Structure 1
Amino acid sequence: MSQVEESIEVGVPVHTAYNQWTQFESFPEFMSGVERIEQRTDTLTHWVTSVNGVHREFDAEITEQIPDERVAWTTVGGETRQAGVVTFHRLDDGHTKVMLQMQFQPEGVAETLGDKLGLVKRQAKGDLERFKTFIEKRGTESGGWRGAVI
């Protein structure tokens, strides 16, 4: 398994950053390679991705969700294997540190090479930078789910 850890400071309160992150269907607006996400239940999402010509569909289950603190997930079934957590850290009333930690299993030669060259890390960093731009430009979340999954 490979690991990625990235973080970014966003200029919105912790509840705004967290609430927006719970709007999984909006991820294609700031995550490159993500074509569509369907929220099937409170804890199950279906992802459609296309990265460098590799098309994938997989399900991910929310394994832990604590409002304004963290969202953790793992893929279920299928060939795609990944798990991770995004945590939200209040810096002050108007700033939040968003931290991503993810483990994944590269599939095939191209993904293994891409991982070794740091492409996944760069993509994660770029996704967080696009999230920062997305939420700061909006200034408010597009929705939010405040339920807990423990």
Structure 2
Amino acid sequence: MSQVEESIEVDVPVRTAYNQWTQFETFPEFMDGVERIEQRSDTLTHWVTKVGGVQREFDAEITEQIPDERVAWTTVSGEARQAGVVTFHRLGEDRTKVMLQMEVAPEGVAETVGDKLGFVKRQVTGDLKRFKGFIEERGGLETGAWRGEV
């Protein structure tokens, strides 16, 4: 397993950042390589990704969700193996640190080489930067929210 830890500060309240992150179906708008996500239940999502010309489908289960604090997940079926947590840290009334920690198991030679060259880390960094742009360009208005706990 490869481990990645990245963070970014966004100029929105912690509630707004968290609310937007719970809108999994919008991830393709700021996550490179994510083609589609379907929210199948409160705790189950189905992902379709395409990275480096390789398409993968998998299901991820939300294992922990605490409003304005954290969302944790793990894959439960499909072609990708990963687990992670995103945490939200209030830095001020309108400023939040979003921290993403992930473990990914590369499959095959190409993914293993890409991982060794830092591809996953660069992808996560880019995704967080695009999340920042996405939520800030909306004037700090999230596209929705799910405030339940898991």
Provide the TM-score with structure 2 as the length reference. Answer: 0.98
Q: How many residues align?
A: 149
Matches within 5 A, 1:60-79: 60-79=60-79
Give the distance between the partners of 1:29 and 1:141, measured in 2 at CA. Answer: 13
Moved over 3 A (4+): none
Matches within 5 A, 1:1-150: 1-138=1-138, 139-149=140-150
Q: Secondary structure at the match of 1:77?
A: strand
Instruction: Give a deviation string over 1:38-66, Cα, whole Å, max 9, x none.
Output: 00000000000000100000000000000
Give the distance between the partners of 2:74 and 2:135, measured in 1 at CA. Answer: 25
Give the distance between the partners of 1:137 and 1:78, measured in 2 at CA. Answer: 34
Pairwise CA distance, 1:37: 0.1
Give the distance between the partners of 2:23 and 2:104, measured in 1 at CA. Answer: 22
Give the distance between the partners of 1:77 and 1:58, measured in 2 at CA. Answer: 6
Q: Secondary structure at the match of 2:145?
A: coil
CA RMSD of aligned residues (A): 0.5
Native 8 Å contact 2:62 2:71 kept in 1:
yes
Q: Secondary structure at the match of 1:12?
A: coil
Native 8 Å contact 2:57 2:79 kept in 1:
no
Provide the TM-score with structure 1 as the length reference. Answer: 0.98
- Amino acid aligned to 1:148: E
Unaligned runs of 5+ in 2: none
Native 8 Å contact 2:62 2:73 kept in 1:
yes
Pairwise CA distance, 1:106: 0.2
Give the distance between the partners of 1:55 and 1:78, measured in 2 at CA. Answer: 11
Pairwise CA distance, 1:79: 3.2
- Amino acid aligned to 1:106: P
